[in-house]
Chains A and B, each alone.
Chain A
Amino acid sequence: MCDTCGCNLTPGNKHLAFKPVAKGATAVSVLKGLLAKNDDQAAHNREHFDRRGILAINLMSSPGSGKTALLEATLVALKNDFNCAVIEGDLETENDAERIRAKGVQAHQIVTGTACHLDAHLVHDALHHMNLDGVDILFIENVGNLVCPASFDLGQHLNVTLLSVTEGDDKPAKYPVMFRAADAMLLTKTDLLAVLDDFDPDKAEAHLRNLANPAPVMRLSARKDLGMDAWLTWLREQLAAQRARVAQGQSRRPAIQSDGMKYHSVTA
């Protein structure tokens, strides 16, 4: 895309680009994504992954919805078939990375200090501390937060958003930006449904559909090993799909890519 010849102007935004201004001043039309620098770095990360045939998955949810527990169970289940690696994002402590390492899997902890989300640069720095040789799937566990992480592309291929049944089935309606970005939604801790009378999984799914999101919804409990098969099957399918894309020189951006941006012709 070009910023000089005006080919990024559309009938919809033309009136914004040219307007009379005071003497001694010029109006410059930019029409560029505000997070262009992050997006460039994210594209660079994605190239890294694609070159190595790695599937990169960004896990997002509120704190305490079971991202690390899901990873522990998933890594054990995939141990004999695939080589996995994990990037952990937290404001403080190495606790989560240590939990992953205890399962015999390579993990790098990003300590964000006070930052409420990971960005593409933090992930890139983390990649330099990791050995990606032979890695099939890289899981990036984002900072527990249903707001900010949704706005930053990290270079992942897929977003997986967790919603634990202790949180309330209307979370997708309350946090539409986050759940609209999900390529899969996992309802976690479903073993607790028996003692919770106010969480309706069907309602949670209906709220997701109201966001025009066709993502699969999987119900599971990592601790009690319920419904894990569907999730593991989905992961295997996604890895196969990633390998097929790489073989054809193609890539995939997660659902976070905004459709509106395409209409404004501001693709990188």
Chain B
Amino acid sequence: MHELAVAQALVEQVDAVIAQHGATQASLIRVRIGPLAGVVPELLATAFPLAAAGSRMQHADLEFAHAPIRVRCQTCGAETEAAMNRLVCGACGDWHTQIISGDELLLESVELETSPTLAPNS
């Protein structure tokens, strides 16, 4: 639902990166979205072309990095994998845990085309 708003934010950020590096366009955009971020990668992938239409990244591939849910137990110190609605320690079962991975909503990296004349299809 709100993925279009996220896609628009992504386009703005990537556009700033393109401008900052004096590039012509972006060819690959890699984002990391954890299940707890509240953003569905598939829906973002659907919304992205709409947000990117006519921009310097309209032909870019959008790639998602996997971010498993992991918690660190504040009671026993174990680091374990957890399910989205059961963020308890996998070792001792205590719920006093901290998320160490799985709630990311990150623009990780962008591949930029700096010189279009060197591109193979030109």
Binding site for B on A (CB under 8 A): 13, 16-17, 21, 23-38, 115-117, 119, 145, 147-148, 150-152, 172-174, 176-178, 180, 207, 209-212, 214, 258-261, 263-264, 266
Would you give 5 A-B contacts (Cβ < 8 Å), ordered by A?
Answer: A24-B119, A147-B38, A151-B38, A176-B85, A259-B100
Residues of B within 8 A of A26 (CB): 21, 23, 111-112, 114
Contact of A172 among B21, B85, B100, B102 (CB under 8 A): B85
Interface residues on B, range: 35 or more
B65 CB within 8 Å of chain A: yes
CB of B88 within 8 A of CB of A212, answer: yes
A231 to B21, CA, bound (A): 52
Set of chain A residues within 8 Å of B86, measured between Cβ atoms:
173, 210
- Say whether B17 contacts A177, CB under 8 Å: no
Contact between B98 and A28, CB atoms less than 8 A apart: no
Query: Given the complex of chains A and B, what is the CA–CA distance between A119 and B2 in angstroms?
Result: 11
**Across the interface, do B31 and A28 meet the contact criterion of CB distance under 8 Å?**
no
**Which B residues contact A (CB, under 8 angstroms)?**
1-2, 5-6, 9-10, 12-13, 17, 21, 23, 27, 30-31, 33-34, 36-39, 65, 67, 71, 84-88, 95-119
Complex: how many Å from CA A145 to CA B37?
16
B112 engages A34 (CB within 8 Å): no
B12 touches A37 (CB 8 A): yes
Q: Cα distance A260–B37 when bound, in Å?
A: 10
In the assembled complex, which residues on chain A have CB atoms less than 8 Å from the CB atom of B117? 24
A214–B115 CB distance below 8 A: no
Answer whether A30 and B110 are a contact pair too, CB < 8 Å, given A37-B9, A115-B5, A180-B36: yes
Across-interface contacts of A210 in B (CB, < 8 A): 85-88, 95
A212–B109 contact, CB under 8 A? no
Nearest chain A CB to B14 CB, angstrom units: 8
| B84 partner residues in chain A, CB cutoff 8 A | 176
Are A30 and B13 interface neighbours, CB within 8 A?
yes
Q: Judging by beta carbons under 8 Å apart, are A173 and B85 in contact?
A: yes
Min CB–CB distance A202 → chain B (angstroms): 15
Interface centre among A28, A38, A214, A264 (most CB of B within 10 A): A28
Question: Which residues of chain A are within 8 angstroms of B107 by Cβ–Cβ distance?
Answer: 30-34
B114 proximity list for chain A (CB < 8 A):
24-26
Extra pairs beyond A147-B38, A180-B36, A212-B87 (13, CB < 8 Å): A16-B65, A21-B111, A24-B117, A24-B119, A25-B27, A27-B111, A34-B13, A34-B31, A148-B1, A151-B37, A258-B37, A260-B36, A260-B101
The CA of A32 and the CA of B113, in the complex, are separated in Å by 20
Given contacts A30-B109, A180-B87, A210-B85, contact A258 B119 (CB under 8 A): no
- A32-B107, A34-B6 known; A24 vs B38 contact (CB < 8 Å): no
A235 to chain B, nearest CB (A): 26
A16 to B71, CA, bound (A): 22
The 5 closest A-B pairs by CB, nearest first: A24-B118, A148-B2, A177-B38, A258-B103, A151-B38
